[in-house]
Amino acid sequence: REMIQHRPYDHKVDVYSFGIVLWELMTGMLPFTNMTAVQAAFAVVNKNARPAIPQDCLPALSHIMTRCWDANPEVRPSFNEVVTMLEAAETDVVSNVRKARFRCCISEPMTTD
């Protein structure tokens, strides 16, 4: 966001990007596919557009994403805070996300053939 507006920026732009990448990992999709890159940049900067969080997203992961892509860089967490939040969510993530999204993978043993 800051980069699009040609404003001074720091590591918080990477925190923003991490929030978007986390969303991509959770959904398996790219955000704003119904827009051109210019339209998406305009929507993010001027309309505070963000990708829709899936209804089945764990609250802890939803919280991390929304904190990371906050419009105000000063409100975004540091990466140390992101790691702490991810570690706190680990049990829920492992037990719920794997079952819900990767059921096919955990029901069949992995082979080396």
Q: What is the pLDDT of residue 103?
A: 47
CB-based burial label for 107 (10 Å; 0-12, 13-18, 19+): exposed
Q: What is the pLDDT of residue 109?
A: 47
Q: Topology of 12-107 in CATH?
A: Transferase(Phosphotransferase); domain 1 (1.10.510)
* Cβ neighbours for 40, distance < 8 A, ≥ 6 positions apart: 31, 32, 49
Give the amino acid at 10: D
* pTM of the full structure: 0.78
What tokens appear for 66 in the block?
Answer: 């929304």
Instruction: For the chain, give the mean pLDDT.
Output: 85
What's the whole-number mean pLDDT along residues 8-17? 91
* Weakest mean pLDDT among 33-37, 75-79, 94-98, 102-106: 102-106
Greater model confidence, 95 or 73? 73
Q: What is the pLDDT of residue 93?
A: 82
Tell me: pLDDT of 2 over 90. Answer: no
Q: What's the CA gap between 38 and 44, in Å, rounded?
A: 10
Greater model confidence, 52 or 7? 52
